[in-house]
Structure 1
Amino acid sequence: MRLSIFTRLALLAPAVLIFAQDPALEVPLGLLPIRFPKDNPYTPAKRELGRLLYYDKRLSADGTVSCATCHDPKAGFTDGKAVSDGIRGQKGGRSAPTVFNRAYSLNQFWDGRAASLEEQAAGPMANPIEMGNTHDVVVSTLRGIPGYRARFKEVFGSEEFGLSEVTKAIATYERIVLSGNSPYDRYKAGNKKAMTAAQIRGMDVYFTQAKCDQCHEGINLTTNAYHNLGVGMDKASPDEGRFAVTKNPADWGAFKTPTLREIARTAPYMHDGSLATLEDVVEYYDKGGIANKNLDERIKPLKLTAAQKKDLVEFLKALSGEGWQSKLVPPTAFPQ
Structure 2
Amino acid sequence: MNAAVFKKIGIVCGLMFTTTTFGDQDIDRLGLPPITAPIDNPLTGAKSELGKKLFFDKRLSADGSVSCASCHQPDRAFSDGLPKSKGVGDRTGTRNAPSLLNASLMDSQFWDGRRSSLESQALDPFVNPREHGLTSYGQLLQAIRHNQDYASLFQDAFDVHIDSIDERHIAKAIASYERSIARGNSAFDRYYYAGEQTAISSAARRGLALFMGRAQCVSCHHIGSAGSSFTDHQFHSLHIGLGRIESRLATVSKAAVAARTGERSIDATALSEEDISELGRFFITLNPVDIGQFRTPSLRNVALTAPYMHDGSVATLEEAVDQEIYYRTVLNGRPLILTPDEKSDLAEFLRSLTSSNAQAIASPEGS
1:112 match: secondary structure: coil
TM-score (norm 2): 0.81
The 3-state SS of whatever aligns with 1:15 is: strand
Q: Are residues 244 and 290 of structure 1, via their aligned partners in 2, closer, same or farther at CA, if it must alter by over 3 Å?
A: farther
Task: List per-residue Cα deviations over 1:99-142 (Å, max 9, x = no partner).
Answer: 02111111100000011101111111000011100211011110
Residue deviations 1:207-236, cap 9 Å, x none?
111100110013110011100111112213
SS at match of 2:85: coil
Change (3 A) 1:260 1:81: same
**Is the CA contact 2:302–2:351 (under 8 Å) kept in the aligned structure 1?**
yes
How far apart, CA to CA, are the structure 2 residues paired with 1:69 and 1:165?
22
Q: Which of 323, 328, 337 is the equivalent residue of 1:303? A: 337
Contact 1:287 1:300 in 2 (8 A): no
| CA displacement, residues 175-231 of structure 1 (integer Å, 9 cap, x when unaligned) | 111221111111113222111111111111111111001100131100111001111
The percent identity for this pair of structures is 40
**316, 321, 327: which one pairs with 1:277?**
316
Equivalent residue, structure 1, for 2:207: 202
Which of residues 183, 195, 203 is equivalent to 1:179?
Answer: 183
TM (norm. structure 1) is 0.89
In the TM superposition, what is the alpha-carbon distance from 1:266 to its structure 2 partner? 0.4
Contact 1:288 1:301 (8 Å CA) reproduced: no
- Whichever residue aligns with residue 195 of structure 1, its letter is I
Q: For the structure 1 residues 300 and 261, does the alpha-carbon distance in structure 2 shift closer, same or farther, using more than 3 Å as the test?
A: farther
Partner of 1:213: 218
1:109 matched to which residue of 2? Answer: 110
Residue range with higher mean Cα deviation, 251-260 or 279-288: 279-288
2:286 is the counterpart of 1:247: yes
**Preserved contact between residue 10 and residue 105 of structure 1 (Cα < 8 Å):** no
Q: Secondary structure at the match of 2:309?
A: coil
Q: Following superposition, which runs of at least 4 residues in structure 1 exceed 6 angstroms of deviation?
A: 8-12
**SS, match of residue 123 in structure 2:** helix
- Report how many residues are paired: 320
Whole-angstrom distance in 2 between the partners of 1:269 and 1:9: 34
Q: Name the aligned partner's letter for residue 167 of structure 2.
A: L
Letter in 1 for 2:197: K
Aligned residue identity for 1:86: G
* CA RMSD between the two structures: 2.5
What secondary structure sits across from 1:16 in the alignment? strand
Q: Where do 5+ consecutive residues of structure 2 fail to align?
A: 1-9, 246-274
Q: CA deviation at 1:32?
A: 3.2
Matched, 1:42 2:35: no
1:16-95 to structure 2, matched below 5 A, reads 16-18=18-20, 27-95=28-96
User: Matched residues in 2 for 1:110 and 1:96: separation?
Assistant: 9
Question: Residue 165 of structure 1: SS of its match in structure 2?
Answer: helix
Structure 1 residue 146 displacement after superposition: 1.2
- What amino acid sits opposite 1:263 in the alignment? V
Which runs of 5 or more structure 1 residues have no equivalent in the other structure? 1-7, 292-296
Q: Helix, strand or coil: the match of 2:243?
A: coil
Q: Which residue of 2 aligns with 1:315?
A: 349
1:271-328 Cα deviation digits (max 9, x unpaired): 000000011111122333898xxxxx358642111111111111100111135544x3
Task: Considering fraction of residues, name the structure with more helix.
Answer: 2
Cα distance between partner residues in 2 of 1:164 and 1:280: 41
Kept in 2: contact 1:288–1:302 (CA 8 A): no
Equivalents in 2 of 1:299, 1:42: separation in Å? 46
CA distance in 1 between counterparts of 2:325 and 2:12 reads: 31
| 1:199–1:299 Cα change, 3 Å | farther
What is the deviation of 1:11?
11
SS at match of 1:190: coil
Structure 1's 299 and 120: CA in aligned 2 closer, same or farther, altered over 3 A?
farther
SS of the residue 2:345 aligns to: helix
Give the match for residue 130 of structure 2.
129
Letter in 2 for 1:331: P
Give the aligned partner of residue 234 of structure 1: 243
- Deviation per CA, 1:122-179, whole angstroms, max 9, x where unpaired? 1110000111002110111101111112321222122210111011101100011122
Q: 1:38 to 1:75 in 2, by over 3 A?
A: same
Does 1:154 pair with 2:193?
A: no
What does the per-residue CA deviation read over 1:84-107, in whole Å, with 9 as the maximum and x for residues that have no partner? 011001000010000021111111
SS in 2 for 1:113: coil
Q: Which has the higher strand share?
A: 2
